Every structure is written in C-alpha cells, then in structure tokens.
Structure 1
Amino acid sequence: MNLLLFERSSGRLGPDEFARIQATTLLRSFARAPHFRFDGGERDASVPVGRGNRAVASAADGSGSGGDAAAPRVSLWAHQAGVSALALERFDGRILVSGGSDATIKLWDLEQCPNPWRYYTYRPVAVVSRAGSDSAAAGHRFGVTHLSFYPFDSAAFLSCSHDQTLKLWSTERASVSGSFFLGSRVYTHAVSPIASHLLVACGTQHPAVRLVDLRSSAAVQSLVPPGQTGGSAGAVLSVSWSPAYEHVLAAGSADGAVRIWDVRKSNGLVALLDQEDVVGLADGGTTSQLRPPRLAAKAHAGAVNGLTWTDDGAYLVSAGHDRRIRVWDAATGANTLASFGPSIRNSQMGAVTMFVSPLGLTAPGCELLFFPNETEILVMDLHEGSTVARLRGMGPAVASVGTHQGGERAIKNRVTSLAWRGAGGSGGSSGVVMGGSNAAGGLLSGHLDGQIRGWLPELEGADDEGDDDDDGAADISAAKTKKRKALDDAFRSLMGRQVTFS
C-alpha cells in the first residue's frame, strides 16, 4: 500500500488506475462480518428475550457479540423458516428487501447502523405477513422465490412465489400495487435495467417465457420455443435482460438450453447457445445479425438455473446442474471455454443469483464472478476460471427452521441469494458498505438457516480501530496477543537451548 501511495504521489500512477488496483485488492479480500446481525423479530419460545443488542447471538452460527458470558444466548433469524431471496435497491444501497420460505417479506434500512465497525443488529422497518388460504391479505401464500427492485425507481419492487403470482409492491407503504396470476409456479423474474418498456420476464414451470406488461397490467406475450409446444423444453429456471440491447432477453431452461430472444419479433428466438461452438459468428456482428439457431444446441448437460450479464453486456454467464459455469461472448455467441474446475456445486431447483463485479472496479478482462456454491461463496476470475477466494462460515450444514404451521423441520443449509452493495447499487467505483465507506463495496447473502450474513473487504489496519470502545474488537485483539505470546515463547524456548556440536 505504501508503494502504491508513493507511486500515486509521484505521478507515476494515475488516480483511476490507483483506485482500480486498490478496489481489486479489496475484492479479493472479502471476509465474514459477524458484527452485523439481522433480527426479524421471530423468537424461539423456549429462550428468554430482552437481553439487548449486545447479548444476542446465533446458536446456529456459533458467533457471539461479547457481553455478559452468563446471559442466555438468544437465537436470531431474519426469517425463521429460511431466507429464500434478497434484493437491494441500486441508487443509495439503503433499502434491502428479503423474502422467506414462509412467504413473508421484510424491508430493512441499512443506514440504521451508526458505526460500521461496531456490533449492530438490524431490525425490519416493515413486514408483510403470509396470506392464509382464507385471507384477503396482500402477501404471498407460499415461499418467495425471487425479489428485485424496479431498476429506475427504488419506490417499487417485485416479488414472485410458488403461489403462481408476480406482485408489484410500493416500497414506502409495503403494500401491493399490482398482482398477476400466471397459472404456473414462478421461479424467477427480470426487469430490463435500460429499457423504456415495462416488460417483466418471468420463468415458470411452463416452457414458455411469460412477459408481463406493467403498463397494461396484463401478461401480453409468451416466448414459446419452436417445436416445444408440448412442454418438452421443461421449466424456465432463469431469465436475464441484456444491459446493452433493451429488447434482448436470455432464458435458461430445464432441458439445458440457453435461448436468446428478441421480444420485438413475432418468432422471437434469435439464437441457441451451443457448448460445442467455440467460434460463433465469423463476422462478429450484433445479436440482430445472428445466424438461424441450431435447434439441437445445448448450453449445458443439465438444467440451466443461473444467468447473468457483465455490466457492459459483452459477456453472458450461465450455470447449470451439470456443475459447470460457462462464459459466452455476447457478440458472437461463442463459448469462451473459461474453465472453473470441478468444485462447482449447483443442484437447487430455482434461480441462482450469481453476479459479476461492477464495471470499473477491476481492470478490463479481470472481472470477478461471485457464485453461491451451496455452502460457500466462490469468488472466481471470470475469464480464467481460477478461484480467488472461498467465503465460508455459513453456520451448520443442517439447520432446524420453523414452519408457518408452528412446527420445525431440519433442512440442509445453503446460500440462496446474494446482493451487492455499492454506491449506485451494482455500478460505480465507490461504495457504501452497511453504514461505512469502502472503495470496493460489500456483500450480503441469504441462507436457508434463516440468517442474512454480511461480508466486507479486510482493510489494512482495521483490526486496531475501535479497540477502546468495542468489546468484540478487544476480544479479537486479545486473541491475537495470545497467539503472538505463544509464538514468542516457542521462539525463546528454542533460542535458549544450548546446542553442542561434536
């Protein structure tokens, strides 16, 4: 760091390059931030409450916040039945919305935290309860599968659910502005980040992609794969709009195909990505000039449940049940052959919320992919496929969660969703991280054990900040001092011995 500062002060390194190098270093140093907790207000009836902000801890996590050692440890959950979806508004990175497996939706204000280096427990500012079978409540009846904010206005967000509905919500009032019944279980949805149209693409159990127009409040179009009218294509598990072309949509299906659609055309289908095609278009044209698709092409040998674009729309990333991640050249449709190794795990029947590091944070061609790898988060080089970091510390492999009937069940814990937090949401070279400034941004993850966990880059010198006024930081400092003393004692013991050579 001192060398970088010297190069910057001497003029050998420009400000943009300096910021990019520092941001890349921080992106590669993400670590768990256990001092941030999310308390949805649900409690185990057998555990007393009211112990305050500093005494709460998660028995599932095994992590505490200091405080009275004799006080009972209170279990906290963002959603006791499990967190199934997360979304963060892109303008200020302030409002987080989370969905639970019990159909509840909660809104969190991330600016509540006054000091990002001290222990803090977030509490929801609004809660939408589950709608019962005989209730007129506006909430979902079954588990929430996906959440997203309206890209041009954080005053609205969308949710979809296993109850076959897509709902549009008012963020300020936490009330429904519109509800759309699609007739099939809805796995995911997507809104274009650049388009003037208000089309919401929905992936459902039906093999056709459903398009809902928020202006007319109707499902206006279905994108049906040619020759697949009988349903042999299977469910649509992932959809993603191009950030470069407002009418181009990518959709991944259970049959292993990734289809590229142009919603302006009557026959819609533009291309099928082929895992064996490493050349693509010879002329390198735009998506509107693609050759007729080969109907037998497959992008993966298993269901495709993850799709995301780079911010500039130059590359499309897909993930499938064949435990493969593939990177595609968006201009030609060619498989770039980036190899991510055998450590990829992906078996969930639902959309995988992976994402690529925002444009400008890293040097061109050095983007990082954040992937929820079941019980860990992998940070990987997008183009080389090498693993940069493994983010672990997700709690128990098997967790006991509550049900809306009041009972409990044991589930396999895994990462269900990811949300990036930076200035301006997904973009920008600077970020605000859960109340504190940081040049690389922050990460939030939702888990089936009911927790929302925070991840922050490790700052140089951050271990010594706040030691005088934070018991948790003092505990960390004491542990480091103990380790240093043990090493020093071992060194003195070895050096104190008299060695005789004969």
Structure 2
Amino acid sequence: MWKEIGDRESGKLRPNSFITRIRSNRASSLHLSNHKELVSSHRGSVNSLQVDLTEGRYLLSGAADASLAIYDIQRATDYEAGGLIAKHKPILVDKQHQNGHKYAISTAIWYPIDTGLFVTGSYDHHIKVWDTNTTQVVMDFKMPGKVYRTAMSSLATSHMLIAAATEDVQVRLCDMASGAFAHTLSGHRDGVMAVEWSTSSEWILMTGGCDGAIRFWDIRRAGCFSVLDQSHSQLGRRPPLADKSTTKVSTSKARAPQRKVGSGSSSKHSGTSKILKHAKGSAKQRLHPGLLTSQDRATAHYGAVLGLKATEDGMYLLSAGSDSRLRLWDIQSGCNTLVHYEIVRLQTSKAIQLAVTQDSSIVFLPCMTSVKAFDVWSGQSRMTLQGHYENVNCCFYSTHDQELYTGGNDRQILVWSPLKLIPDDADECDRRTEQPSAVDEDNWSD
C-alpha cells in the first residue's frame, strides 16, 4: 500500500487508478475479521445476505427458522477486548410474525433505491414486501411453489418488478406498483433456482434452471431470446461487431468496447443494445418460445444451475452448477469464455449466492464449509476462506468497506475484512465512553 501512496504523492498514479488499486489490494487480503463481529440471532441456517445499495450500512439476513434480521454494520452496539472488537447486534429481529413466513426464508433483498422496504421469499410459497420502519407486511404474492431466489433491478426507472425463481417451470414477475403479477415467462423445463437482472439494461433478465439451462429474457417481448450453450465458445476475443473492425483482446482480461447510444437515452437503460442474438450463418432469427429446437434445448451446465452473478460492467455472467463447475460467459455474444476454474464440490440441495468484487476481478463461491475466491479472468484460486463449521449458503461483498459477509448452516454470519493491526482512532474519542481521549484533553477548548 505504501508504494501506491508514494506513486500517488509523486503524481505517477491517477486518483481513479489509486482507488482501484487500493480496493483490489484490500479484496485480495481478506481474513476473518479481528475487529468486527456480528451476533447472530437466527436459530436456523442463514440462507441470504445483502447490504443495502444506497448507504452500504444495513445488512439484511434471512434464515431457515423463518426469521429475518437487520444489522447496522457501521455502528457497533458494544465493544470487547478494550474496545478493539466491535460487536454488532441486530437492530431489528422478526420471528414468527403473525403475517410473516411460516417456513424457511430462502431469499431476502433490499428495495434497490430505499432502505424503507425489503423483500423476502420463502418455502411457504409466498413473497412478501416489508415496511422496514413498522416491520409490517405491506404486500403479499402467492407463488405456485417454493421460492428459491428473488431479484430486483438496481437500474430500473420504468418498473418495480420482482423476479421470482421458484420450483415451478415458469418465472413470474411481481409488480410492486399494482400488487399483481405482471409477466409469466415460460421456457424452462424444470424448476428455476437462480435469477439475476442485467447490470447494463433494466429490461434484460437472466434465469438458471434445474434443467441446466440459462435463459435470457427481454421482459418487453414474449419468450426468451437466447439460451446459453456450453459448447458455444470462443477463446481470446469477442465476435466482431457489424459496425466495428475486429480487434484482438487479451485472453485474461477481455474488456468490451463502449457502446454508443443515441441522444436521449443511456447505455445502462437501453433495451435495444446488442445482447445475445444468436445467428445461423449471417441470418439472425428469433426462435418462438414454443419451438423445441437444438438451440432451445442447449444447456449451460450438466445439472441444475445453482447461482448466477453478473459483473458490475454488465459484460459478463458467472454461473455455478451442480456439476461442480463455475463458468464465465460473454453476455454480448453468449459464448463460454473457457476460463478454467478449479473443480469444487458444491451443495446441490439449495440455491447458492455468489459475490463479485466491484472491479470484477475476484469471485467468491460458497464451497461446502468454505468460500473459494477465484480470479475471474484467469481462473486461478486466490484464497480459501475457512471459518464456518457447516455448509456455507450465501456471501455478499460490500463495495463500501471491501468486506465479505458469509452465512451458513451453522447459523453464524461471519465478517471477512483486511487485517486491522492498528486500532482506528480517527473518531478522536473513546468509543466505549464516547468521550474525548485523555491524550486530546486540554483546558481551553470546549
């Protein structure tokens, strides 16, 4: 770190590059936190974790005992070891609410633009929308089967849709604005365990099913417009675009060219962007959702797709399957990038939650009782985080603090952060008494 600081002081390193390098160094040095501890109130396995996207301050968790909890991860409730270890107790706990879930909570997510609402899905076939301030259910959606995952688009300005992955073959979109189902997406031949919104378009939805297929949907159209095929691969570069010349790109870090969008629209919200349009020869065609062709039957994994995670730039998609494989997909072309990740053992009884760093350099994958960290572009194993006593179900990487939160069947929520060797006394006060430190006291200041 001192080298980066020296380069920044001398002007050799630009501000943005300095920030990126520091964040990357912190993400590469994660250990079980020696200064922060979350006191779990759950009496069942922790199935879902998410830090709010607005303040990066509140951690939402859902567990198998139908309980949910919210933690303030920036302000501790107590301190131990002379103030060196901050203990965070839940500021909100809900158990056996009269209108709450009856069975295990499988997914819990924040409303993307406000911490006043959050959404939970459960094995009791219900998706509920909660008011954070009153801890009351304000909306309830009855689903046809167990709810495995829910997702909301962080880019959406035109809709308030909750995408639900259930044991039913159809993917349903719940509209929070009307309180009714807005869409039913048909195409999978088995239950759906993973769902993820595109990080570059508010209209594109990606789903992974127990049939081993990953399908891409434009919610403004009927039927999926693409199915990923693990045998459709391209190594070293992306397919050439019609309006641009072919250029060679490094195999380890393939970066997409910036797409230009007409005036009056943003690239992140453009639904007409070139995403996953398969072609036979030079003629491109869109398959009818009812047609059962070789392309429609393509599979991304030899087994169920357990988890999906899109990179922050919206160019790549990571998928984990019950075949113990982690794959990286080029979203624009639909190609398997053939990045070779270590074969790891994954639990197949439930959906898993992956996490990616802000610069999309490291992916965190729950592997039984540990969490594996891989380099996204080379596939090399960076580190193995071991601390849970039982299987790990979920992980979430906080971009605000460069910390990783993991939850497992041992009912614990662990914090992984860069080692903190020197106590943080930037607050200029004793954190236990909230009074000025004795070193800073004087006889003239207020």
**TM-score for both structures, normalised by structure 1:** 0.71
In structure 1, C-alpha distance between the alignment counterparts of 2:216 and 2:410, rounded to whole Å: 35
1:145 aligns with 2:146: no
Q: For residue 350 of structure 1, report the CA deviation from its aligned partner.
A: 2.6
Q: For residue 15 of structure 1, report the CA deviation from its aligned partner.
A: 2.3
SS at 2:19 equivalent:
helix
C-alpha contact 1:36 1:453 (8 A) present in aligned 2: no
SS at 1:111 equivalent:
coil
SS at 1:142 equivalent:
coil
1:127 aligns with 2:93: yes
In structure 2, C-alpha distance between the alignment counterparts of 1:178 and 1:9, rounded to whole Å: 53
SS at 2:70 equivalent:
strand
In structure 2, C-alpha distance between the alignment counterparts of 1:275 and 1:102, rounded to whole Å: 37
SS at 1:31 equivalent:
strand
What is the match of residue 392 of structure 2? 415
Higher mean C-alpha deviation, range 181-190 or range 290-299: 290-299
Aligned ranges for residues 383-402 of structure 1 at < 5 Å?
383-394=377-388, 396=389
Q: For residue 455 of structure 1, report the CA deviation from its aligned partner.
A: 0.8
SS at 1:4 equivalent:
helix
Structure 1 unaligned segments of length 5 or more: list them: 40-76, 132-136, 360-365, 397-412, 424-430, 432-440, 471-502
* 1:374-409 C-alpha deviation (Å, 9 max, x unpaired): 211111111111011111122x3xxxxxxxxxxxxx
SS at 2:394 equivalent:
strand
In structure 1, C-alpha distance between the alignment counterparts of 2:212 and 2:147, rounded to whole Å: 18
What is the match of residue 484 of structure 1? none
Question: Which structure has more helix as a fraction of its residues?
Answer: 1
* 1:147-206 C-alpha deviation (Å, 9 max, x unpaired): 110111111110000000000011122211111111211111111111121111101111
In structure 1, C-alpha distance between the alignment counterparts of 2:370 and 2:88, rounded to whole Å: 23
SS at 1:287 equivalent:
coil
What is the match of residue 52 of structure 1? none
In structure 2, C-alpha distance between the alignment counterparts of 1:240 and 1:272, rounded to whole Å: 15
Task: Read off the aligned partner of 1:269 and give its amino acid letter.
Answer: C
What is the match of residue 161 of structure 2? 199
Match for residue 74 of structure 2 among 106, 111, 129: 111
* 1:414-433 C-alpha deviation (Å, 9 max, x unpaired): 1111122233xxxxxxx3xx
1:447 aligns with 2:408: yes
In structure 2, C-alpha distance between the alignment counterparts of 1:309 and 1:89, rounded to whole Å: 18
Aligned ranges for residues 241-260 of structure 1 at < 5 Å?
241-260=197-216
* 1:208-265 C-alpha deviation (Å, 9 max, x unpaired): 111111111112221111xx6xxxx211000001011111111000010001111111
The structure with the larger Rg is 1
1:150 to 1:443, Cα distance in 2 relative to 1, 3 A:
same
Corresponding pairs, count: 377
Task: Read off the aligned partner of 1:198 and give its amino acid letter.
Answer: M
C-alpha contact 2:35 2:84 (8 A) present in aligned 1: yes
SS at 1:215 equivalent:
coil
Match for residue 375 of structure 1 among 353, 356, 369: 369
Task: Read off the aligned partner of 1:355 and give its amino acid letter.
Answer: A
SS at 2:4 equivalent:
helix
In structure 1, C-alpha distance between the alignment counterparts of 2:308 and 2:151, rounded to whole Å: 11
SS at 1:151 equivalent:
coil
Structure 2 unaligned segments of length 5 or more: list them: 243-272, 280-285, 288-294, 432-446
Divergent runs of 4+, >6 A: 114-117
C-alpha contact 1:188 1:239 (8 A) present in aligned 2: yes
In structure 2, C-alpha distance between the alignment counterparts of 1:341 and 1:271, rounded to whole Å: 27
What is the match of residue 477 of structure 1? none
**TM-score for both structures, normalised by structure 2:** 0.79
